[in-house]
Structure 1
Amino acid sequence: AGNYLPNNRNITEKEFSAQWQVLNLNRNYSQVMVDFNTSNIKDIESSSFGVNFKIPVEQYQQSMRSAKYAILIILLTFGVIFFTEIMNKTRIHALQYLLVGLALCLFYSLLLSFSEHVGFNPAYLLSSALTIILVGGYMFGITKKKKPSLIMSGLLTILYIYIFVLIQLETFALLAGSLGLFIILAIVMHFSKKIDWFNE
């Protein structure tokens, strides 16, 4: 970074080294200053050089990034519950929707808590598995049918894998996110066509 490139540099998987050689002829200010003023400070700052470190995304940042997708996961889960309610002629109370929403919100608390002890990736796996089991089991308890609970568990598994991949991506995160949302919307539109909204 800065105004000068190193003369020599060596980069390996574990370390790097760099050497600069800056002569007083290369700079906008003299080697000895008699009258020091504001313009000298700007000249000195403009001739700075060095190395900027790229800090990898750490567990708290990853947890924050995953929390940004919370609304998407909750709305899609509610959408699946709603479609299940209409297609299977099963009445699901608003309180049951709320309990499922609370279970999905608790995922982020579990994720943050576990990641402080075991790291982000194992914490994500453990938190998502617990949430999927909880919500899938609850859906089975509500509907008394295996198919809706398996669909719910499968949907949450796909969503959590999708979010995990998005969190790991850096360069293509926006593209992958946009394409994923497009596919999800297309699936929702496809299933909504099969419902006779006026006779239900």
Structure 2
Amino acid sequence: MAALMIFEATLLLSLSSVAAQSFATRNIRLGSSLYTTAAGNNFSYWLSPSGNFAFGFYPLSDHQQFIVGIWMPKTPENTLVWSADRDGPPFSLGSFFSLTRNGTLILRNREPQIETISINTTPASLASLLDNGNLVLYNSQSQVIWASFDSPTDTILSGQTLNNGFKFSSSAPETNYSTGKFQQFMQSDANLALYYSVRGSKDNHHKR
């Protein structure tokens, strides 16, 4: 039980009693872009319809470096609940994010380096940040082809399903939000196991 208390992953309950499938959406169209700004204005993030979640460039402590993620802007701490490429280098001023006209999510740092966030074989027609904190891409038939819920980092949100192989990890200190030492993994025997990782090893510590 003590290990579970140490585990840094945050389990957040729904802000509403509405079922996850019925959360309102706000469409993000092809060609839409976000840019890093020192002031963190509305050019650097998109809001869900209720404003409970934001997706975009999340400023680190010096406000000159950013990670791309989803957070809760109405909380005093601007709680981060998901991040892309959490173990990669932070992004600097001059970086941008785009839902390209080819239907993929890309990041470009100030240097000429492009990183693809979504790995989808079918081009997206639009994206939405739902009111449960799930960022989704849709194809031309309005079917979900990619979702941030399918690649969690350190937080489970309302509406996420813990399928076989589902894994999430604690975060390192808040200065960088990279992968921490604890992982939870949904095993094939339906046990949710907690692991403590040291120098690449994985020790089973607790099962639920």
TM over 0.5: no
Q: What TM bracket, shorter-length normalisation?
A: under 0.3
Q: Flag the structure with higher helix content.
A: 1
- Give TM-score scaled by structure 2 length: 0.24
Q: Which protein has the larger Cα radius of gyration, Structure 1 or Structure 2?
A: 1
- Give TM-score scaled by structure 1 length: 0.25
Higher RCO (C-alpha under 8 Å, 6+ residues apart): 2
